[in-house]
Structure 1
């Protein structure tokens, strides 16, 4: 379920924090690593997602914002394959994946986190990530596998943990982690699948205020490699403004605007959608 977003009037006054990639809003479809074309999901006569067309480019951080009930998480469900589309297409690296189930989309490089934390609490932090690495690489840890396979999986797991700042927490039971650390572990699990496109659905949900800055830096680092792109839903406006190269604004299931953060914040139509005509 989508969460209410703070008013744009508050967000506009925030200091400039972005460290973007200098990407303009008018790149071509050929340069998109992820694209939706007229993506629509209807329940009866009601359009939950209504003809949304988006382009995510290599190395780009695209934020998705909108009022409560705007259809942000529903859009993610369509992109990741958890919901069947009523109309439209989803393209990943130019290939049509609209009919593929979630696991086959993941195999092609599409990874996703969810609003609710989901880790194996009875396993250690490292064991959680090792299982994810093993799943991505296929096969089992049977006795007849070469010895180096164990080492490769362990090394990759440790790399993922180091990336999210959990290098020293590998032996801790995942169920005992603070909520902010569980969010980091979920990102490590995502990275274990070696995705090129990451869908982050409100990663700050439930995270304490003191843990937010550290988690923001982890997420900021996800696009440090030019072959990795991020599409993120977030209702904390200060967070999304500090991370996004562009913002996509949803309202009543439709795409209201998609542009640089400064342009979106100055858009009278977007302000009205959040705050009403009295702004």
Structure 2
């Protein structure tokens, strides 16, 4: 679904991302961890097209997308969330998602457009809201949502684009402890749900309990390079990971 080879981004002589090779299988959940400054978000910026790599290649399926801008990667099935929440606070929850659906489907809100097309947009928006557990919050103003609910809304906006590969950049950031379990359940459903066949997730997260709960494999970054990429048990037992990230006493 997603593959990088030798992906590198240098600023002067410093390698922010250094020769990273990852491969994401259909339906797989790959977690990305590492100390602050390890290059995790920079890796996401390269994969999503916000940054141009110094060298290396990014593939979506069989397509080399290294030179494509973010919006063209999105059209090919790559969706991304960011660390900071970004929704239209003055619009309702449902209106936010309807705009995202329409942006994905194309066309304008013309008076000459078939009425059935509006129904299709509304239906897709409602389905995305149900998927993230906001089906009963459609009429609420997005700006009034609790932070955990805004995170769910951002995932609904992502789903509106019908991505096959989802990049989630620290979705638990700022979420209260009591809201974490619900958000974890939503994220688990992105690959495990009945409608998620083939959908894959690459997620950066600092909450180790969340990563261990969700991930099929964990990639560990350190000083911009990939230190390890294996099952959660294997990564937890990796001496280099313990020293670099989890601590000597683990």
- TM-score when normalising by structure 1: 0.87
**3-state DSSP of counterpart to 1:231:** strand
Aligned match for 1:175, one of 129, 143, 146 = 143
Q: Tell me whether 1:227 sits opposite 2:195 in the alignment.
A: no
In structure 1, the residue matched to 2:32 is 64
Q: Which residue of 2 aligns with 1:256?
A: 227
The CA deviation at 1:274 is 1.6
In the alignment, structure 1 residue 198 sits paired with structure 2 residue 166 = yes
What's the secondary structure of 2:57's corresponding residue?
A: strand
| 3-state SS, counterpart of residue 70 of structure 1 | coil
The DSSP-based 3-state class of the residue aligned with 2:17 is strand
Q: Check if 1:243 corresponds to 2:192.
A: no
Cα deviations by residue, 1:71-96 (Å, 9 ceiling, x for unpaired): 00000000000001000000001100
Structure 1 residue 34 corresponds to structure 2 residue 11 = no
Residue 275 of structure 1 and its aligned partner are, at CA, apart by 4.8
Cα separation, 2, equivalents of 1:149 and 1:209: 40
1:126 corresponding residue in structure 2: 94
1:126-161 deviations in Å (ceiling 9; x for gaps)? 000000000000011101111100000000000000
Q: How many angstroms does 1:278 deviate by?
A: 6.5
Matches of 1:193 and 1:278 in 2, distance apart?
Answer: 44
The 5 A counterparts of 1:44-59 are 44-59=12-27
CA offset at residue 226 of structure 1? 2.2
Q: Distance in 2 between matches of 1:179 and 1:139?
A: 32
TM-score by length of 2: 0.97
Whether 2:175 is the aligned partner of 1:207: answer: yes
Gaps of 5+ in 1: 1-32
Report the aligned-residue RMSD: 0.9
Give the direction of change, closer, same or farther, for the CA distance of 1:87–1:159 in structure 2 (3 Å limit).
same
Q: How many residues align?
A: 247
Structure 1 SS opposite 2:35: coil
The one of 68, 72, 86 equivalent to 1:104 is 72
Deviations 1:17-39 (A, max 9, x none): xxxxxxxxxxxxxxxx1000000
1:277 Cα deviation (Å)? 5.5
Task: For residue 235 of structure 1, report the CA deviation from its aligned partner.
Answer: 0.2
Q: Distance in 2 between matches of 1:278 and 1:171?
A: 50
C-alpha separation between the residues in 2 aligned to 1:146 and 1:117?
34
Moved more, 141-150 or 184-193: 141-150
